Structure 1
Amino acid sequence: MNREDKMLYTVKEASATLGVSIHLVYDLINKGLLPALKLGSLKIRKETLDEFTKKYEGMDLSDLDHIKELNIA
């Protein structure tokens, strides 16, 4: 089964899909920015990842306590 067919991603799979570290995915979950569910281990729905990237497109998430618009100079 390839990633496009999956309904739920592990934190590791979500991090690979987003191209970020596992630690950042846990931080996003702990801050309430990326909803997850615990089904054995933490899982993130494919739709949730899609919604997350749409919601935060054009934003700078370098500091999760101070999310701001991306400013490319």
Structure 2
Amino acid sequence: MDKKDLKDEKLLYNVRETAAVLGVNVHLVYELINRKLLPALRLGSLKVRKSTLIDFVERYEGMDLSDLDNIKELQQNMN
């Protein structure tokens, strides 16, 4: 990957961008980071790597995260 490709490829997302990518509010992103469910780094402000977002979605696919104290498998509606 040359420098131009690296510059065009966004590697880090701030909390607001992370929330937009995940389709949730920023408060949930902060909660996920605080609970260490979504790894982040501080580079001026909190940032999440693009690859971390992909890993997060893959790790929790099929899970119900509406209660972070009780993460469980998503109940499939058979209707």
TM-score between the two structures when normalised by the length of structure 2: 0.86
Query: Match of 2:31?
Result: 27
Match of 1:57 among 61, 66, 76: 61
- Paired letter, 2:18: A
CA shift digits 1:1-25 (9 cap, x unpaired): xxx8200000000000000000000
With 63-72 and 4-13 compared, the bigger mean Cα shift is at 4-13
Unmatched tracts of structure 2, length 5 or more: 1-7
Q: Name which one, 1 or 2, has greater alpha-carbon Rg.
A: 2
Match of 2:41 among 17, 25, 37: 37
Distance 1:66 1:32 in 2: 15
Distance 2:16 2:62 in 1: 24
Q: CA RMSD in A?
A: 1.1
Query: Match of 2:74?
Result: 70
Higher relative contact order (CA 8 A, sep 6+): 1
Unmatched tracts of structure 1, length 5 or more: none
**Identity over the aligned pairs, expressed in percent?**
64
Q: Which secondary structure state, in structure 1, belongs to the residue aligned with residue 13 of structure 2?
A: strand
- Paired letter, 2:14: T
| Moved segments of 4+, more than 6 Å | none
